[in-house]
Amino acid sequence: MEMVSKKYVYFFGEGKKEMKNLLGGKGANLSEMTNIGLPVPYGFTITTEVCNLFYELGKKYPKGMDDQIDENLKKLEEKMGMVFGDEENPLLVSVRSGAAISMPGMMDTVLNLGLNDKTIKALIEKTKNERFAWDSYRRFVQMFGDVVMGVEHDSFEEALQARKDKKKVKYDTELDAEDLKGLVEDYKKIIKKAKGKSFPQDPREQLKMSIDAVFGSWNNKRAISYRNLHDIPHNIGTAVNVQVMVFGNMGKSSGTGVAFTRDPATGKDEFYGEYLMNAQGEDVVAGIRTPKHISKLEKEMPDIYKQLIDIRRKLEDHYRDMQDVEFTIQEGKLYMLQTRTGKRTASAALRIAVDMVDKKYIDKKTAVTRVEPQMLDQLLHKQLDIKAKHKSELLAKGLPASPGAALGRVVFDADSAVEEAKNGNVILVRTETSPEDIQGMAAAQGILTARGGMTSHAAVVARGMGKCCVAGAEDIKVFESKKYFKVNGKQIKKYDWITLDGSTGEIFVGKIPVVDPVLGEDFKKFMSWVDDYRKLGVRTNADTPNDSKVAISFGAEGIGLCRTEHMFFEADRIKAVRKMIVAGNREEREKALAKLLPMQKKDFIEIFKVMNDLPVTIRLLDPPLHEFLPNEDEDIKEIAGELGLKFDELKATINALHEINPMLGHRGCRLSITYPEILEMQVRAIFEATVDLIRKKYKVKPEVMIPLVGTVREVKVLKEQIIKIADSIMKKENLKFDYKVGTMIEIPRACVTADEIAKEAEFFSFGTNDLTQMTFGFSRDDSGKFLPDYLEKGILDKDPFATLDKDGVGQLIKMAVEKGRKVRKNLKIGICGEHGGDPSSVEFCHMVGMDYVSCSPYRIPIARLAAAHAALKEKEKKNS
Ligand code: ADP
Ligand code: MG
Ligand code: MG
């Protein structure tokens, strides 16, 4: 029995918009537009399934496909009353690629297919327009030669330029039929010379070669790397669309254009677009002539304009989203050639989402899913004035480490940054930054480093501060002591002005004006919907009252990580901190700590005040102590003087504190084990601040967090000490207060023994920076040396310090959550690493059932939206 072959080809109208996976985005929407009665030239779509079979069968087509193409071609001919390859009434088509997800790496479109040395005569005869006919032919030979046969695009451009030069004209529209006819011959010769093969005259062969080329392009290098970059699966395939040609290049009453149903920059409900008369295909976007604003069409062709306005409404009514369309006018008649969801800026996305809900086009849930979390980043930072930026001199480019814009005078050390910032904006420029630079970084408008990656100290700290940072600008050589940097033969000195764009990594000479972010009504309304859907709480990582305030304005529901050590770097305290560190015995150390106590207490009071009844998780001292001490002899000398020590003495102490592997050394809770008096001071400061504020009617919710725990006994010992301090304060003050004691989970052993640890800990907070570092055995500060190779060679898909490694680190987290909750049902669980603000990591946190994520203030809206998306996605999965 003869098998009925599968349907491989769909005539426009047989498909619908929901069939994107099978017909590709372009094909599905061409069918949809046909179905809703829009003027779409006839055509058909060869499915994405054929693309996959093509590769499975070793670049052969499934049986029956050729017949289906013939049938559909016949149908086209009948509808048009024309015949493909006919010498009197030839049908011409375009061949267009189109995957389910739009992909610039794919084959370009071929227009005017079906022309050859014979059919051209019929086209001339029929249109009585010799120039148009030759223009169409030369475009076809060029496109075919370029995208199907693989001849250098430039060689065609050169030939065209030569013809224009010879005639001393500027635009291709100024070439006449003779010139274009000559150009066709030029092009054919170019093809023959480059490929040793002639341009094919048989239309069926032209069509077959073009279809081959589209499917072939699915696995070209450009397409593969585009898919890798954008997480598009490699097995979804592309479709091929074959469509009857309409001509925008037939003269004055013809033209072509692109339009958006709304303004894609602002989201305003206003028709937006550009067109060119007497032009074809990509001419508008290719910039060969300057296109006109769509509003001009109203005067030029009022009927067409009115039709377009109707179509604009019809499309939005139908798709319920902003559309991006292509149209062509052939001798006063309008045709639609494409529609798809229009790309838009973040503010446009919000405007459109809110407006469409207001107009009852979509519900709130749909509105929430339409905005990508990462997009919100654009809204939260200062930006360079676009026009001024284009006019400015680009100095170099580094990594876009922390978004926003900054301009200021260059300084080369943290102290100068602090000092000069009093007189105006400064940019701190360093080869790389270290914890000693924190004050300077805080004082600077922006930070520029010559070395380091997206997770370098400068990048992480700057993102935390919401401060613009360009990191790893390799072309720059910084001479810190000589106070200048060199780049591409140019020298920039201390106090010279530069401008940074942290969103692109660009560095400019001089001042470029910046514009402030405005979080308007749309943002507020939209975010309130977001909060209705999310289940995860969103807290912030904040160390100062100011960060806390910013975080609250962005919707933080508490502090998930307050790092006490950042407070230690402030100018008025670092001395006491250093005294504490170099103290020879407990007595001396306690003396130094006694000086720090009131300062820490004041910090906590201020932060508690801002957060009022929201929980505040405070981490006990975490970094290795030598980070607080100077490195250079010059500085050691100075500090020895200040501390009343001898240079040699201090130097010896510093040397003694030196560790071979500080990240695995004397840090975290190990500090409190060795020096219980440090913990004592910090905990006292926290609880005394609590008492003070409770007396003033604040509701304080302190949570003391023990870092770098590996065994439950560490927790037990320290928790007992914390409880003792709390009890003594309560007794002395005759006042009761609530508090929690919990742990960071950032050592694999803590995950594996989480059930033990949960017996003591009242909450877990995953410190995924360290947990990632320790699970992979990658030093975060050194990973810049090898991670790029890992990514390039495909050993890792993503930088695990930026996106949580779900298969490894994530499994440890999952295990810890399960084990922890088994022992303590109401165990509060959150995350406070860099990942807390990364959308896909947030989704993971939702899936494993955490209570909250904590991230830097400027990522809070992103985390809120990502949490809503995660919850909606889960619901949808359950329903299907
Ligand atoms: P892309 O995906 O790069 O936008 P398209 O397949 O949409 O490629 O086509 C490129 C250009 O050619 C567009 O301007 C499109 O409108 C035009 N075009 C495609 N098919 C036809 C056709 N049958 N008639 C006229 N113009 C066409
Ligand atoms: Mg297109
Ligand atoms: Mg840590």
> Which of helix, strand or coil describes residue 232?
coil
In whole angstroms, give the CA distance from residue 87 to residue 509.
63
pLDDT at position 852 over 50: yes
> Could you tell me the CA-to-CA distances from 759 to 459, 560, 589, 647, 762 in Å, in that order?
37, 21, 33, 48, 8
Query: Mean of the pLDDT values across residues 696-720?
Result: 97
Residue 111 Cα to ligand 1 middle (Å) = 7
Span 658-680, pLDDT tens digits: 899 988 999 999 999 999 999 99
Residues paired with residue 627 on neighbouring β-strands, in sequence order: none
b or e along 477-489 (b: 16 or more beta carbons within 10 Å of the residue's beta carbon)? ebeeeebbbebee
CA pair distance 233, 550, nearest whole angstrom:
39
**Ligand 1 atom with the shortest distance to the CA of 327:** 16
Contact status, residue 183 vs residue 164, Cβ threshold 8 Å: no
pLDDT attached to residue 391: 85
CB 325 less than 6 A from any atom of ligand 1? no
Q: How far is the CA of 127 from the centre of ligand 1 (A)?
A: 22
Better-predicted residue by pLDDT, 246 or 880: 246
Burial of 673 (0-12, 13-18, 19+ CB in 10 A): middle
Using the mean position of ligand 3's atoms as its centre, give its distance from the Cα of residue 399 in Å.
24
Asked which of 343-352, 408-417, 554-563, 753-762 is least confident by mean pLDDT, the reply is 343-352
Question: The tokens 């490195």 sit on which residue?
Answer: 631
Could you give the percent of the chain with pLDDT greater than 70?
A: 98
Residue 541 banded pLDDT, cuts 50, 70, 90 = very high
**Model confidence pLDDT, tens digit, residues 575-622:** 889 989 988 888 989 999 999 999 999 999 999 999 999 999 999 999
Q: How far, CA to CA in Å, does 129 sit from each of 110, 114, 120, 122, 125?
A: 22, 18, 11, 11, 8
Work out whether the CA dihedral 127, 133, 139, 144 comes out positive or negative: positive
Whether the CB of 238 sits within 6 Å of ligand 1:
no
The residue among 341, 379, 366, 317 whose CA lies nearest residue 522 is: 379
The pick from 115, 324, 326, 341 for probing ligand 1's pocket by mutation, whose C-beta has the most ligand atoms within 8 angstroms, reads 326
CA–centroid distance, residue 536 to ligand 3 (Å): 22
Which ligand places an atom closest to the C-alpha of 106?
Answer: 1
| Residue 283 pLDDT level (bands cut at 50, 70, 90) | confident
Query: Catalytic: 51?
Result: no
Confidence label for 785 from pLDDT (cuts 50, 70 and 90): confident
Ligand located closest to 76 CA: 1
State the Cα–Cα distance between residues 652 and 71, nearest whole angstrom. 89
Q: What's the 60 CA to ligand 3 centre distance in angstroms?
A: 55
Residue for token digits 């985390």?
Answer: 863
- What are residue 10's DSSP bridge partners? 45
Instruction: Return the pLDDT at 676.
Output: 96
Point out the catalytic residue in the list 51, 381, 457, 855: 457
Stretch 719-734: mean pLDDT: 98
Confidence (pLDDT) at 288 = 62
Q: How confident is the model at residue 535, as a pLDDT?
A: 97
Residue nearest atom 14 in ligand 1 by C-alpha distance? 281
Q: Which candidate, 569, 572, 678, places its Cα nearest to that of 629?
A: 569
Shortest-distance ligand to the CA of residue 707: 3
- The yes-or-no verdict on residue 105 having pLDDT over 80 is no
Query: Do the bridges between strand 426-430 and strand 446-449 make them parallel or antiparallel, or are there none, so unpaired?
Result: parallel
CA distance 492 to 488: 11
Residues 6+ apart with CB under 8 A from 746: 707, 708, 709, 766, 767, 768, 769, 770, 771, 774, 833
Distance 140 CA to ligand 1 centre (A): 13
Ligand 1, atom nearest to 102 Cα: 2
Distance CA 286, CA 175 (A): 18
Alpha helices in 425-559 (DSSP H): 438-443, 457-465, 521-533, 545-553
Kindly state if the Cβ of 282 falls inside 6 Å of ligand 1: yes
Answer yes or no: 468 catalytic.
no
What is the pLDDT, as a whole number, of residue 467?
86
pTM over 0.75: yes
Question: For 298-310, what is the mean pLDDT?
Answer: 97
Nearest atom in ligand 1 to the alpha carbon of residue 244 is 23
Indicate whether residue 330 lines ligand 1 (CB < 6 A). Answer: no
Q: What is the pLDDT of residue 2?
A: 47
Q: Can you name the residues that pair with 340 across neighbouring β-strands?
A: 324
Ligand 1 pocket test: pick from 29, 96, 110 the residue with the most ligand atoms within 8 Å of its Cβ.
Answer: 96
Indicate whether 1 pLDDT > 70. Answer: no
Provide the token pair at 728. Answer: 């003594």
**For the chain, what percent of residues have pLDDT higher than 90?**
75
pLDDT of res. 205 = 97
- CB contact at 8 A, 406 and 515: no
Torsion of CA 123, 126, 131, 134, to 10 degrees: 0
Pocket perturbation via mutation, ligand 1, pick of 282, 333, 341 by most ligand atoms within 8 A of CB: 282
328 lines ligand 1 (CB under 6 A): yes
When pLDDT is averaged across residues 482-486 and rounded to a whole number, the result is 95
Tell me the pLDDT tens digit for each residue of 441-473: 989 999 999 987 776 788 878 876 778 999 989
Calculate how far, in angstroms, residue 303's C-alpha sits from the geometric centre of ligand 3: 66
Q: Which residue has the higher pLDDT, 718 or 634?
A: 718
- CB of 41 within 6 A of ligand 1: the answer is yes
User: Model confidence at 574, in pLDDT bands (50, 70, 90)?
Assistant: confident
Q: What is the average pLDDT value for the chain, to the nearest integer?
A: 93
Of the listed ligands, the closest to the CA of 563 is 3
